[in-house]
Structures are given as C-alpha cells and as structure tokens.
Amino acid sequence: MPAVSSGRDVRFLDPAVIARLGSMELKARTIVEGFLSGLHRSPYKGFSVEFAEYRQYLPGDDLSTLDWKVYARSDRHYVKKFEEETNLEGHLLIDVSASMAYRGDAPMSKLEYGSVLAASLAYMMNRQRDAAGLIAFDQRIVSRLPASTRPGHLHSILLTLERIRPGVRSDLGRPLHQLAEALVKRSLVVLISDLLDEPEPVLQGLKHLRFRGTDVIVFQVLDPDEIQFPFRTASRFRDVESDVQVTADPARVRAGYLQALSDLQAQYRRELRGVGIDFVTLDSSKPLDFALLAYLAARERRL
C-alpha cells in the first residue's frame, strides 16, 4: 500500500497537531487536503489523485475512453468512469461507549481520534460525490444521519461529530443488525470502535451486513496503553462501563493481557477476512494516513 510521500504531509495527519486545531470541519479539511497533497506527489498517482473519476482499463472497454494524460503520469491505463460507477452510500458507524473515552498519554482519546477519522472519511466521501451517513451508538443508537449528498449534509455530520460525548455500555451487535435490515442500496459501512465487547455478537452483526451484500471496513481504535500495557507499579484498573475494579501487579498480568488482546484481534481478523471484511487496527497516537489509505484501497476494490 502506498505511503504519504513526505514528513511534511504526515505532520498534517499527526494527532498531536490535529488536536490543537479548532472546529471538526477544520480538522477534516486539514487532514484530507494534506493527505491528498501527499498522494499527488507520490509515485502512485494513478491510485491516488484520480480515484473518484477513473478506474483501470479492462478488456472490452472502449479504447476512446482511455485517458492518455493519466497514462503519461502513472504508466497505467485508466478510463473515465461513468457517474453511476462512481457513487455509493457510505455509512460511518462510531462507537461512543464509555470505554472509547480512555486516553493515556496520547494526544486524543479513542473517541476523539475516531470522531476525527469519521469526519475525515465523510469529507473524503463528499469529495468523491458519495452519499455519507453517520450512526453514533453505545448500547443504543444515540444519533443518526441518513446517507445523503444534499448541500449542507456534510456540515451536519461534522457538527454532530464535534458534539459527540461518551455514552455508557457498548452493545455493538444491535446497531449492526438494525442497519443490515435497513440498507437497500449498494453501500459501504465503516465501523470505528475499540471492539472491547463480546466478539460473537459483533461478528454476527458484521456478517449480517456482509451477507446482505454490504461492503464493510472495520477500524479497531486502541490507545497505546491498551496496545503496549506499559504500566509498571501495582495499579487499580477500573472497567469504565461496569465500574468493576481490580488491583493487579502489571508485571504479573502483562503477558496474559497481551496474549488475550492478540487472540481477540486474531479472531476478528480470521473471521472477518473469511467473509471479505477488511479489519484494521489503529493506534490513536499515530497519524491517520494509514486509515485513509485503507479506506481508499477498500473503496477502489469495490468499484
């Protein structure tokens, strides 16, 4: 997968920089424009810049639709897409349960990071003339904006994301099943969550979406503390959703915790890959370029 070409571009995707910006609209615009600027200067121009308007040439395509200017820049054959080939419905699902509010030493909490990611994807969908929708949920759907391309809709999504606050317990399976039953058009669903829930209901909900013909990308957002478990002294750990507290010596439990996390991720990766769902783990202290590249790669495969 191509990378953003320079340190200057990555700087605009760094959570430490993004966290200091003002509105969600400014954050999303800065991220997407900086990301696309980096792709413009990358050696993968055919993949990046013209992703909304071109697709690779296929045997049988009319030769008159070949774009020789794109070929000169990318050394690949691309044809102009028709409008009906380019547009899809994108549904952004963001987990706002209490566990998403966690932040160790990272610049943003998981919820803030996930909200900025959702805002950036909505902004990118808008640029691609895709209909974007938003669902925020914990144990129930707390906010829903249907997919639309109407003027002002992007602003509504960004404003909703800016106002999101942590909720209570998570129940990922329920909104996934509800959305699967509601979707009737060709759609792409992006789930943004820490996935710190019982995996079986989540997997069933995601598979329900996939079996209904919906394409799905899952972004698991974790804090560096959750990925590395860096704690050194005896500590009291509290489940923010159940309020259960446990005192433990990190040196004694670190190996078991990291193995349990690895097993959980392996289960998601194995079962989701088996049904054609993309699964990506994101570190909330890292730049967002990898997430945006994963989205573009997934969208490109589905056109």
pTM of this prediction? 0.81
Interacting residues of 1 by C-beta distance below 8 A, sequence separation 6+: 293, 294, 297
Which pairing describes strands 235-238 and 245-248: parallel, antiparallel, or unpaired? antiparallel
Beta bridge partners of 95: 137
100: pLDDT strictly greater than 90: yes
CA–CA distance, 273 with 23 (Å, rounded to integer) = 36
| String of DSSP letters for 85-143 | HH--EEEEEEE-SGGGG--SSSSS-HHHHHHHHHHHHHHHHHHTT-EEEEEEESSSEEE
Helix then strand then coil, % of the chain, to nearest 5: 45, 20, 35
* 251 CB-contact burial (10 Å; exposed 0-12 / middle 13-18 / buried 19+): exposed
Question: Mean pLDDT, the chain, as a whole number?
Answer: 82
Confidence category of residue 303, pLDDT binned at 50, 70, 90: low
Residue 24 is inside which H or E element, if any? helix 24-40
Q: Taking a C-beta distance cutoff of 8 angstroms, is the pair 292, 124 a contact?
A: yes
203-243 pLDDT, tens digit per residue, is 999 999 999 888 999 999 999 999 998 888 877 777 666 66
Domain boundary assignment for the chain: 45-83, 87-302
Share of the chain above pLDDT 70, in %: 77
Rounded to the nearest 5°, which phi and psi values hold at 184? -125, -20
Strand partners, 94: 136, 192
> Which pLDDT score is estimated for 109?
95
pLDDT at 43: 45
Kindly report which listed range (1-5, 107-111, 184-188, 275-279) carries the lowest average pLDDT score: 1-5
Residue type, 243: D
C-alpha span between 28 and 222 (Å, rounded): 20
| pLDDT score of 39 | 67
Residue of 95, 153, 102, 159 lying closest to 125 (CA atoms): 153
Q: 87-302 is classed in which CATH architecture?
A: 3-Layer(aba) Sandwich (3.40)
Q: What is the pLDDT of residue 76?
A: 64
pLDDT in tens, 278-295: 999 999 999 888 888 888
Residue 94 confidence (pLDDT) above 60: yes
Calculate the dihedral angle through the C-alpha atoms of 5, 276, 119, 296, rounding to the nearest 10 degrees.
Answer: 30
Q: What distances in angstroms separate CA 183 from CA 46, 67, 205, 215, one per listed residue?
A: 32, 35, 13, 11
For tokens 């960004």, name the residue.
Answer: 158
Name the most confidently modeled range: 10-14, 40-44, 246-250, 258-262: 258-262
